[in-house]
A and B are shown apart, each in its own frame.
Chain A
Amino acid sequence: MDRLRRNPTFQAWALLAAPVIFLIVFFMLPLLIVFVYSFLERGEYGGVQWVFNLGNIQRVFDPLYFRTFLRSLYIAIVTTLITLALGYPLAYFIADSPPKRKGVLIFVLMIPFWTNFLIRTYAWLTLLRTHTGLINVTLMSWGVISKPLPLFGNDFAIILGLVYGWLPVMVLPIYAALDRLDHSLLEAARDLYASGFHTFWRVTWPLSLPGVVAGSMLVFIPSLGAFVTPAILGGGKSLMIGNIISNQFLGAHDWPFGSALSMLMMIAMLIATLIYFRWTTKTEAAS
């Protein structure tokens, strides 16, 4: 027993036991259940019947659902690109600030997270709503517009809500990458006749790519699976794959089909993650 206790392998496993068991019970097992359920038949009042069935997998590719999936993919990509376009300059600005101000700016960036995401999304509702939203009401009362702008219940509203929600998550890893950047590399580029633009394009940008990729993943994955934002800002008209999945479990009581849709989404995320790892290992080997 004493010898066993001193064994380093045993020690490692003893330390790892808790997280490993936790992950197996609450992550691997549910994942497996979802996988298995997607090949079963729906039960009458939710749940499943243990009958092997490929119908759910086929139905996933039914244009009705697959189009929503593609649209979700599109929304997630656009959201990621917009957060990147907004987040990169912001991260650059913070990383370029004097050390004392950096902490304050990061702190300010995180403040929105203090409020529940649901409440913040509802707040957008009061701003964007077509007839009673603050923006349209104000603009109309000023006479800037004569009829309400289509700010709500469409992809625009969803993307706006997602960009707002995930922007800090994009900024943080980019900031971390830029903050680590050795300033003398930028001076070396300038010294070697590079203009400000070329210094950015040839040195700053490639060296911040790991942060860009990490930030993009952190925004893309939750955006693809979003359901709170489209549920509220989509106005029940503009839906994403996340809403259909939640509806299969909570409304339609079709657990197997919900599971099949979840699997499709997870595969999409897995592909994105694999691309991410390819990128980072490539850039890591480079640096």
Chain B
Amino acid sequence: MTETYAVELQDVVKQFGDVVAVNHVSLQIRDGEFFSLLGPSGCGKTTTLRMIAGFEMPTGGAIYIHGERQGYRPPNKRPINTVFQNYALFPHMTVAENIAFGMEMQRTPKDEVKRRVAEALAMVRLSNMANRKPKQLSGGQQQRIALARALVNRPKVLLLDEPLGALDLKLRKAMQIELKALQEEVGITFIYVTHDQEEALTMSDRIAVMNNGIVHQVDVPDRIYEHPADRFVADFIGETNFIPVKVVSLSPQIIVELASGEKIPAGWAEEGIAVGENAILSIRPEKMTLLEEKEVDGPPPADIARVRGAVRHLVYVGTDTRHTVALQDGTEIVVRLQNSYIDEEPWEIDESTIVEWNAAHARVLKE
């Protein structure tokens, strides 16, 4: 028998009129996982979440929650709760009434409701706010009440739609840690929608990167960063350099040729790329280093790439310095070097240089 996932999406499509918001998305989210849907606004991540919650019905495909097909089941019949972007706390009810709402609707006995409301308030450390109205709370407090209101129902899956979006940066960082700790404590599957890659990278067990209704990559955070599956992911997550290349060979070793004629090795090539085709080489700025002519002696080892260039621009950013280097074909790349050596002589503008990196960090992607 196949594994039962907390949430499984099979080939889900959502169309609004002519617009395809979600385009054949399949996801398997494991029980107890902190899973993020990451992408720019309009990428379909919120629509995907809303379909899981039952606010939108898929145009095609199927959604399973703990192995049960949801079909056209309305939100109130799904074992799921949502933390909304603007919290959506009921303004005419007190904090305690807000938290009790879901249990009241499920006809939970009164004394149990009372006990669980108190527990939920204690969990988010707002016990003294029980009789306040939401308007009387700060943004961060409202956020925690929204969380308590959802978690008090002990859902099988908790959906969070950019729940930290409205908070200021400092509070946001604190809430990220708090949320992650809470998730580990309660052990409930979290599906978290965000456009903030740092947030996704720090909190998630796994991330699905989405754009234009398509899932580009599903992976653990470090693989998303270190091994982006395609150009979109490489570009969207962190900073990266794209160098136009032509594929010379794919085996036994991947070799690409720059417009300058320099041939260099690369660690990985995207599926479907053929020898002789144009492609792009993707490499992160911190994976590269700069060498002087005199430091280089003979051809590099087989797994090391070296290309010639000239330093065009320096920006000191504290921990490191961003070196803009023009390659011989005119492509400008950024090399980040740590400012760790006290007596190291800084590069000068227009000084010629050799950029070196380990081929394993370089990925050949489709244009």
Contacts and interface: CB of A to CB of B under 8 A. Distances in A.
User: Do A and B interact?
Assistant: yes
Interface of A: 182, 184-185, 187-195, 198, 202-203, 206-207, 283, 286-287
> Max chain A CB contacts within 10 Å: which of B54, B85, B90, B153?
B90
A187 B105 contact: no
A193 B102 contact: yes
Interface residues of B, number: 27
B26 interface: no
B55 interface: yes
A190 B86 contact: no
Contact of B105 (A182, A192, A206, A286): A192
B91 A287 contact: yes
Nearest to B53: A191
B55 A187 contact: yes
A91 B334 CA distance: 59
> How would you classify the secondary structure of chain A's contact residues: helix, strand, loop or mixed?
helix
A191 B75 CA distance: 5
27 contacts: A185-B88, A185-B91, A187-B53, A187-B75, A187-B82, A187-B84, A187-B88, A188-B84, A188-B89, A190-B55, A190-B74, A191-B53, A191-B55, A191-B81, A191-B150, A192-B81, A192-B101, A192-B149, A192-B153, A193-B76, A193-B102, A193-B106, A195-B76, A202-B90, A202-B101, A286-B91, A287-B91
Contacts of B92: 206-207, 283, 286-287
A188 B55 CA distance: 10
> Max chain B CB contacts within 10 Å: which of A188, A198, A283, A287?
A188
B135 interface: yes
Contacts of A195: 76, 105
Interface string B321-362: 000000000000000000000000000000000000000000
Contacts of A286: 91-92, 133
Given A184-B84, A191-B76, A191-B81, A198 B90 contact: no
> Max chain A CB contacts within 10 Å: which of B54, B88, B149?
B88
A203 B91 CA distance: 9
A188 B102 CA distance: 10
Nearest to A195: B76
Given A190-B76, A194-B76, 12 more contacts: A184-B84, A187-B53, A187-B82, A189-B90, A189-B101, A191-B80, A191-B81, A192-B81, A192-B150, A207-B91, A286-B92, A286-B133
B90 A188 contact: yes
Nearest to B74: A190
Nearest to B107: A193
A286 to B, nearest CB: 5
Question: What 6 A-B pairs have minimum CB-CB distances, sorted nearest first?
Answer: A192-B102, A188-B88, A193-B105, A184-B88, A190-B75, A287-B91
Given A198-B105, A287-B135, A191 B82 contact: yes
Nearest to A207: B92
Interface string B196-222: 000000000000000000000000000
Contacts of A192: 76, 81, 101-102, 105, 149-150, 153
A188 B76 contact: no
> Max chain B CB contacts within 10 Å: which of A193, A203, A206, A283?
A193
A224 B135 CA distance: 38
A194 B133 contact: no
A164 B327 CA distance: 80
Given A187-B75, A188-B82, A287-B135, A194 B88 contact: no
Contacts of B89: 188
Interface in B305-320: none
Nearest to B97: A202
A287 B153 CA distance: 25
Nearest to B79: A193
A194 B133 CA distance: 21
A194 B104 CA distance: 9
B76 A184 contact: no
Interface string B285-318: 0000000000000000000000000000000000
